[in-house]
Structure 1
């Protein structure tokens, strides 16, 4: 009687290289693997995912467009010099007309390194497929998603369900890691407490967390930007919005912790307003005893009329400049 021979086990295919364990020394020698490089410390790091959390109408989109503007132009952001970058913005929350207004306001239409994607719900495609296809074509160095809820709409019906986020968040995080992209995703805060809305999975996946809030006892245009995470550790900064230049400047926190400090913050913010400074300098360099005419200020300031008007109103309201009539013309002189 013949003995049945055991069947050979099927051969197992070789594992791809990236799924094989490597030694610690091999990892240390691999120059293709890079440490996180800060673009804007506390907020943006190459190859890392940062989640920015803020209550509704706190100004997180405005803060981010200030950041985008600096990165596109290679100009300082919150006091940090940044290199010019290619940026992909998923502007999913605002009306496209509002996004256009921000682009024009920041002068980004003059730069060819900012790209706007206002929808990811293409029929037959997942949002990540749309994102990845655009990344493949545009090769951005920075991606901004405004907001996480809008990106996940149609995929997540309950923000508190952690399983719903188990695919969405890791895949965009891995995209940032794999392609060395600085990824910034905006998310809404809880109505109370200031933490991120929804499941704890939302804050578990990002490499870094940033928070935008209104500090107590500060002027309405001041925000506190704080951060913590693997790269950013823990820190904070006060930033103040200048309505004339549509830019943010940093404010010394040590001088803004009391009511008297708040007044100092208001004066300091005013002192850093480029539009106001420029107009005041032109007025101080007067050749006429009552100061220059309005049209001379317009010509010398080389700014849009609305910015000159806003600067003059601010200076007059604060008692730094007085205006007088000279026939049909208006002159502005130092008070």
Structure 2
């Protein structure tokens, strides 16, 4: 059946062949913060009072000054921070706390009021870009203050969310800048995927090029995990910590921090400390001892014995897949040898 409508003018699709695309001279993607924040639409999401406004302000000040943000290099450019839940007094206090006496960058601008996405906001951003063509970053804090005022049913929530975010996405693409939107999480948490915690429909995350979600176990905690995903960035998780001056710092990736914590726990283990002492005191570079002999030596030590109350527990601990690697980290090579009558634990000092 022919479903085409006669006498209806259809706009043609704008296409490009694979061969032409291969030869096309396309402007490379611009990064505002190297490796994590490219041009386009980004969202920063966290529960209320988690420190995301401090992070947003620090981001603007860092980019404006061309200083690192969370340890990542930035590419300096003008910034606009729409602090729509703040006053200039609060902004001044926060800025001074972050700057700690340093001179504030002249190319970072603030506003505490703006239009909505179905009103004057797009025009206001266009006008700002005409006045400040060197702008690299605009932060909108928070999304709720610029949302379209259209009343919609729950079934239309995705459409409205996506429509609002698309307006911002088009503005970012038009001016080749990054627009970062600060947003809240929903009350019910999804332990399977932190990005499902974003308040609203999936239209919000779906329209964004890059998404950041800040998680903490407790609101009062100074340390948290920053989850990052995006179309043009590698998915990553890093541990961040807010210092006394409310400045967020990157401690390391979650894998790096976990490895550091594991090594600290390994070094603090009473059995490991005993082995280190015995190897250091041995006349020979090699210490040979049975699990029973090692347990007897541990039991003679005062204080905590780390839960080791049998030679089997000693053996299981040393049989861990990571044990040899951890011992090498502290300058000891560990192996075991079985003879006709005994199984020997062998610890050798590594020559530096």
TM-score range, shorter chain: 0.5 to 0.7
Distance 1:213 1:138 in 2: 34
What SS does structure 2 have at the residue aligned with 1:250? strand
Cα pair 2:46 2:214 within 8 Å, conserved: yes
- Flag the 1:201–1:242 CA change in 2: closer, same or farther, 3 A: same
Match of residue 163 from structure 1: 159
Alignment of 1:39 onto 2:32: yes
Q: Give the Å deviation of 1:219.
A: 8.6
Match of 1:333 in 2: none
Q: In structure 2, what is the equivalent of residue 55 of structure 1?
A: 47
Q: Distance in 2 between matches of 1:156 and 1:121?
A: 17
Residue of structure 2 in register with 1:129 after alignment: 123
Matched, 1:64 2:71: no
SS in structure 2 of the partner of residue 228 of structure 1:
strand
Equivalent pair of 1:120/1:131 in contact (CA under 8 Å) = no
Contact 1:214 1:223 in 2 (8 A): yes
SS at match of 2:173: helix
For the Cα contact (< 8 Å) 1:215–1:224, is it kept in 2?
no
TM-score (norm 1): 0.63
In structure 2, what is the Cα distance between the partners aligned to 1:187 and 1:221?
20
The answer on whether the counterparts of 1:54 and 1:212 sit within 8 Å (CA) in structure 2 is yes
Change (3 A) 1:69 1:55: same
CA 1:14/1:113 → structure 2, altered by over 3 Å: closer, same or farther?
A: same
2 CA distance for matches of 1:137 and 1:156? 34
State how many pairs are aligned: 247
Aligned to 2:188: 192
- Matches of residues 109-120 of structure 1 in structure 2 within 5 Å? 110-120=104-114
The answer (yes or no) to whether the contact 1:42–1:228 under 8 Å persists in 2 is no
Shift of 1:137: 2.0
**Matched-pair contact (CA < 8 Å) for 1:225–1:237:** yes
Output aligned runs, 1:294-309, within 5 Å.
Answer: none
Structure 2 gaps, min length 5: 1-6, 266-352
RMSD over aligned Cα atoms: 3.5
- Structure 1 gaps, min length 5: 1-8, 265-335
